[in-house]
Amino acid sequence: MALWYLTRATGGVALVLLTITLVLGIVDVARLSSQRTPRFVVDAVHRTASLFVVLLVAIHVLTAVLDSFAPIRLADAIVPFGGTYRPVWVGLGALSFDLLLALAVTSLLRARIGVRAWRTVHWAAYACWPFAFMHALGTGSDIKPGWMLWLSLACAAAVALAVLARAAASYSAGVAVTGVTAVLAIAGLALALWIPAGPLANGWAKKSGTPSSLLGGKR
């Protein structure tokens, strides 16, 4: 039971830190830093936060695997969609974790692999976050009570604002802002329709792929 609580707590903190890491990365690359918070500070906080995310997700995964409540294997944390517990939603977490590891390893090896290869892999950060976000909404026990849902939506709002600011600071700002606004509007609408019919609806535990032996369990 304590392990499962730790899974949930580390998951929530990891999502917040992943959001901070992504937002600071965008602020850094879009040169949105100010005199009060110069670029090297943004850079240092971005790097430190990203290391904490890896550490927290590692604890998140280990506690989920070690807890006897759900049948989750270590392989399920790396190989997406092969598990028996909410396979799609845990699978999205695994995809996010794989990308996170690729981002961390290539950043540590940046001097060896070169800035070009590092930058190409770093674009994956834009996919890492939505996978983690959808994983949290689809797997989290704390979405229905509300607080985790609002925390996740606040993270989404922060990412959306940062991406818009990045588009506005780009070379062809007009086209970029229009394109990003359209994508964000569609994503927002899709979420507004899906959340009440999905994670907040009765029967989501079964629909999301919880093994029938666990349905009706206390957690």
Query: Which chain residues interact with ligand HEM by CB under 6 A?
Result: 7-8, 11-12, 14-15, 18, 57, 60-61, 64, 70, 72, 76-77, 90, 93-94, 96-97, 100, 132, 135-136, 139-143, 148
The angle at the Cα of 26, spanning 14 to 122, to the nearest 5 degrees, equals 75
Q: Which is nearer to ligand HEM, 43 or 67 (CB)?
A: 67
Extract the tokens encoding 24.
Answer: 């600071």
Output Rg (C-alpha) for the chain, integer angstroms. Answer: 18
Nearest to 129, CA basis, from 150, 164, 165, 103: 103
In the structure encoding, which two tokens stand for residue 44, read together? Answer: 């240092």
Provide, rounded to whole angstroms, the least separation between the CB of residue 24 and ligand HEM. Answer: 16
Which residue, among 122, 143, 11, has the nearest Cα to 64 in the 3D structure? 11
CB 66, min distance to ligand HEM, A: 10
| Residue closer to ligand HEM, measured from CB, 133 or 180 | 133
Question: Shortest approach of ligand HEM to residue 107 CB, angstroms?
Answer: 15
In the complex, least distance from residue 168 CB atom to ligand HEM, rounded to whole angstroms: 27
Residue type, 137: L
Residue with smaller CB distance to ligand HEM, 11 or 26? 11
